[in-house]
Amino acid sequence: MLVQKYKDMLGGKSVIRELSEFATARGKEIGYENVFDYSLGNPSVAVPKEFNDAIIKALQTMSGQAVHGYSPSLGITSVREKVAASLEKRFGIPYRAEHIFMTSAAASALAHAFRLVTQPGDEILTFAPFFPEYHPYVDLTGATLKVVPPNFVDFQINFDKTAEMMTEKVMAVMINTPNNPTGVVYSEDTLKKLADLMTEKSKQYGHPIYLITDEPYREIVFGGKQAPCVSKYYDNTIMCYSFSKSLSVPGERIGYLAVNPKAEGAEFMVPMCGQISRGIGHNCPSSVIQLAMAEVLDLTSDLSVYETNMNLIYNELVDLGIEVVKPDGTFYIFPKAPEADAKAFSKKALAYDLVLVPADTFGAPGYFRMAYCIDTEKVERSLPALRKFIKETY
Amino acid sequence: MLVQKYKDMLGGKSVIRELSEFATARGKEIGYENVFDYSLGNPSVAVPKEFNDAIIKALQTMSGQAVHGYSPSLGITSVREKVAASLEKRFGIPYRAEHIFMTSAAASALAHAFRLVTQPGDEILTFAPFFPEYHPYVDLTGATLKVVPPNFVDFQINFDKTAEMMTEKVMAVMINTPNNPTGVVYSEDTLKKLADLMTEKSKQYGHPIYLITDEPYREIVFGGKQAPCVSKYYDNTIMCYSFSKSLSVPGERIGYLAVNPKAEGAEFMVPMCGQISRGIGHNCPSSVIQLAMAEVLDLTSDLSVYETNMNLIYNELVDLGIEVVKPDGTFYIFPKAPEADAKAFSKKALAYDLVLVPADTFGAPGYFRMAYCIDTEKVERSLPALRKFIKETY
């Protein structure tokens, strides 16, 4: 018989998907360029030419077996070595190939990380507002995702609630910094406090609590800054990275899991990922994509457009009197809706062809998310519509 | 804490992996061209030029977002349409895009198929000899793989045992035809008998028993024949396909799951796969690989070398008095070892630089597997070594 739990999931359409479908349909009526679609986190900037060139070069110069043959189950060794070397150079942590596991982007890295350190019945703690896909990602493993309520002041961590919720059942804590949906980067102070609390609770419960850090937006930080490297603050850290946003290649499904060399059991964790793969049908990212990515490890797309867009929107929102924390990075901004019901707010915005995502499913009712990974020209054209909407409605 | 069940799996090295490592090490001593390595099922023939050309064309002519952007979670729609049309044309079954789910090759298709129709505690029946990875693939889902003993006469199905083992707990039957490791193709007669038995048992138990058919070797059939299309014989069939062997691209991780349009619940199954993906971190194959594959759907590599190799080896084995069923396809042959202990036999063969895989883990002790996806010239050079080994030892 078909398994009921998956059948039951079919009814629920995500609010983002619904809005995105509205945007597409409305685009057919008035031209998509006239729909101010802030619904989807789909990178808009160009893929670095070097990435495509590296694919073509591999196809033209390597043997078919070398470029299209089986990758070892942990990833192509030379690729893992290059990733480790790049991380060491960048963050000063002595990663080696044996700490790197190549994955089909962050979703797959997370799928392995959860299974490394939790069993059915265990809990994983995360922090609102959060990426709503975390729920099926975790809950379908048999573990349970517990969500700490937001710190609305600056969208750093609500530590009082965290201390309360970090019970003995919690085997892992998951953070996402730079954060979707707030755009906030967790500060050094936040990471230190979190590390202290996790160290204390690990001791108290007699088992390590691992920190799973989901970092697809690591390279998108504003003001010429860098996001603090999470692994530096806590040894038992499992980093989950994706090149989807930094190279604008979300369809290529390429990323990695990096185990802190000082983590408890570090020597077992990557080989264990290879075993986990057998149960979930994972078998590495595409070989040619691995090889090409390894050639452009230290490159990114031109990500500056996201900062330009953020400043335009942020200034307009502030000018309109909308409450908003200024993003440190990503391509998201997370303002407070001018009415308590963000769903109603979002619905009214559609009349102005503004597609804004209400944040109830992100764990922050009353807020909304704008994904500004769109052309700056369109952002500029959207601002009068936003102004008109707010002025006429509130 | 690290999850013990995955840690416990680390000890066990597969016999194939061990032998392959021996071959590599020995290759460093005497030159790999002098090691007659029949251990690995890694396609040796050239990738069709059209596949590489299609990748390059997509990179050079499409926008970055079109070629590297997010694929919908069920696969790129135009690609699913093309796969469905190709299957309909080929097999006369009215597949549509809604029956096709793009996967990271067969391992991933199987991972979804198992979760579609089984829950922890359920059983999946398969037939020895069988691909040993089926055990972790199934057992790590929480279901249990039950293996019907071989029919040693012709490596078709042992129906007496099958009828006995198809209990109420069996929710799915999995077959692999053309078969790894025997090279045998299940005949029309076998498929009809299996369908009859499954129909009868489904009625008796009041629930459908689904047929999961793992078909990566579908295009490698000898004597100008075609493998019977399994789905034609049983409506409740879930086909799992991979392009790894037909296009010689196992590293690109591309395949699909195709639900028979007449299957019970066919309309739900592909969308359910999309839900299953969320729990196992799957997110479609690489976009550019999907796009390129769709351009060469009706092509294969030049697979004739496998038949040439098979005939050379088969004739030599028969001449040496070794008991062997002639393969109908694949790039495997599965002879009976001339002593009861195939492991001991395989060990002795290493002295002749012959790397042969004992079949205990395939569920057929006393047999061994040769994967002849190697150059014909090497096959020819290996035959005197095989002859010498057998003559001197038995």
Residues of B in contact with A279 (CB under 8 A): 111, 136-137, 139-141
C-alpha angle B340/B324/B110, rounded to 5°?
90
- Nearest chain A residue to B73 by CA distance is A251
- pTM value > 0.80: yes
Contact B275 A107 (CB under 8 A): no
Confidence of residue A15 (pLDDT cuts 50, 70, 90): confident
pLDDT over 90 at A206, yes or no = yes
The backbone torsions φ and ψ at residue B127, rounded to the nearest 5 degrees and listed phi first, read -125, 130
Contact A107 B10 (CB under 8 A): no
Amino acid symbol at B286: S
Q: Does A116 touch chain B (CB under 8 A)?
A: yes
Contact A69 B272 (CB under 8 A): no
Residues of B in contact with A265 (CB under 8 A): 2
**Cross-strand pairs, A210:** A172
Q: How far is A56 from chain B (nearest CA, A)?
A: 6
Q: Which helix (H) or strand (E) holds A57?
A: helix A49-61
Residues of B in contact with A49 (CB under 8 A): none
d(CA A303, CA A248): 9
Contact B110 A276 (CB under 8 A): no
d(CA A120, CA A118): 7
Question: Do residues B117 and B172 make contact, with C-beta atoms less than 8 angstroms apart?
Answer: yes
Residue with tokens 């460093």: B28
Q: What is the pLDDT of residue B66?
A: 93
Task: Name the residue among B285, B286, B288 with its Cα closest to residue B56.
Answer: B288
Contact B136 A67 (CB under 8 A): no
Q: How far is B130 from chain A (nearest CA, A)?
A: 16
| Residue contacts between A and B (CB atoms, under 8 Å) | 219
Q: Which helix (H) or strand (E) holds A358?
A: strand A357-358
Strands A144-148 and A123-127: parallel
Task: Name the residue among B216, B166, B152, B155 with its Cα closest to residue B194.
Answer: B166
Q: What is the pLDDT of residue A18?
A: 85
Residues of B in contact with A136 (CB under 8 A): 275, 278-279
d(CA A160, CA A185): 20
d(CA A212, CA A131): 14
Residues 6+ apart with CB under 8 A from A243: A105, A249, A252, A254, A255, A293
Q: How far is A345 from chain B (nearest CA, A)?
A: 28
Secondary structure of residue B29 in the 3-state scheme: helix
Contact B9 A275 (CB under 8 A): yes
| A110, A249, A278 ranked by CB distance to B68: nearest | A249
| Dihedral (CA of B16, B17, B20, B22) sign | negative
- Mutate one of B280, B302, B375 to test the A interface: name it (highest A CB count within 10 A): B280
Contact B272 A7 (CB under 8 A): yes
Contact B69 A251 (CB under 8 A): yes
d(CA A307, CA A327): 9
At A249-291, the pLDDT tens digits run: 999 999 999 999 999 999 999 999 999 999 999 989 999 999 9
Question: Do residues B256 and B101 make contact, with C-beta atoms less than 8 angstroms apart?
Answer: yes
Contact B279 A109 (CB under 8 A): no
| A110, A265, A281 ranked by CB distance to B2: nearest | A265
d(CA B296, CA B298): 6
Structure-token pair, residue B262: 């007449």
The backbone torsions φ and ψ at residue B332, rounded to the nearest 5 degrees and listed phi first, read -125, 150
Q: What is the pLDDT of residue B229?
A: 97
The backbone torsions φ and ψ at residue A336, rounded to the nearest 5 degrees and listed phi first, read -85, 130
Q: What is the pLDDT of residue B42?
A: 87
Contact B110 A281 (CB under 8 A): yes
| A103, A251, A280 ranked by CB distance to B70: nearest | A251
At A62-95, the pLDDT tens digits run: 999 999 998 899 999 999 999 999 999 999 999 9
Q: What is the pLDDT of residue B14?
A: 77
Contact B68 A250 (CB under 8 A): yes
| B2, B70, B275 ranked by CB distance to A117: nearest | B2
pLDDT by residue, tens only, chain B of 394 residues: 899 999 999 987 778 888 988 998 999 999 999 999 999 888 989 999 999 999 999 999 999 999 999 888 999 999 999 999 999 999 999 999 999 999 999 999 999 999 999 999 999 999 999 999 999 999 999 999 999 999 999 999 999 999 999 999 999 999 999 999 999 999 999 999 999 999 999 999 999 999 999 999 999 999 999 999 999 999 999 999 999 999 999 999 999 999 999 999 999 999 999 999 999 999 899 999 999 999 999 999 999 999 999 999 999 999 999 999 999 999 999 999 999 999 999 999 999 999 999 999 999 999 999 999 999 999 999 999 999 999 999 9
- Nearest chain A residue to B276 by CA distance is A6
Contact A10 B111 (CB under 8 A): no
Interface of B with A in 248-267 (CB under 8 A): 248-254, 264-265
Task: Name the residue among B184, B192, B172, B171 with its Cα closest to residue B240.
Answer: B172
Task: Name the residue among A364, A380, A368, A311 with its Cα closest to residue A338.
Answer: A368
How many Cβ atoms from other residues are within 10 Å of residue B384's Cβ? 11
| B46, B133, B254 ranked by CB distance to A278: nearest | B133
Question: Do residues A185 and A328 make contact, with C-beta atoms less than 8 angstroms apart?
Answer: yes
Q: What is the pLDDT of residue B178?
A: 98
Alpha-carbon dihedral angle through residues B147, B152, B157, B162, given to the nearest 10 degrees: -50
Residues of A in contact with B275 (CB under 8 A): 6, 9-10, 136
Q: How far is B394 from chain A (nearest CA, A)?
A: 36
- Mutate one of A17, A39, A52 to test the B interface: name it (highest B CB count within 10 A): A52
pLDDT over 90 at A123, yes or no = yes
Residues of B in contact with A105 (CB under 8 A): 283
Interface of B with A in 118-147 (CB under 8 A): 118-119, 133, 136-137, 139-141
Structure-token pair, residue A377: 């020209």
d(CA A371, CA B200): 54
d(CA B349, CA A35): 70
Interface of B with A in 190-229 (CB under 8 A): 207-208
Residues of B in contact with A285 (CB under 8 A): 253, 286
Q: What is the DSSP letter of B214?
A: E
Strands B210-214 and B237-242: parallel
Q: What is the pLDDT of residue B40?
A: 87
| ipTM of the complex as predicted | 0.96
Contact A284 B69 (CB under 8 A): no
Q: What is the pLDDT of residue B60?
A: 97
Residues 6+ apart with CB under 8 A from B272: A2, A3, A6, A7, A9, A10, B116
Residues 6+ apart with CB under 8 A from B267: B98
Contact B281 A140 (CB under 8 A): no
Interface of B with A in 62-81 (CB under 8 A): 64-65, 67-71
Q: Is the peptide bond before A129 cis (omega within 30 degrees of 0)?
A: yes
- Nearest chain A residue to B108 by CA distance is A281
Residues 6+ apart with CB under 8 A from A315: none
Q: How far is B224 from chain A (nearest CA, A)?
A: 26
Contact A137 B47 (CB under 8 A): no
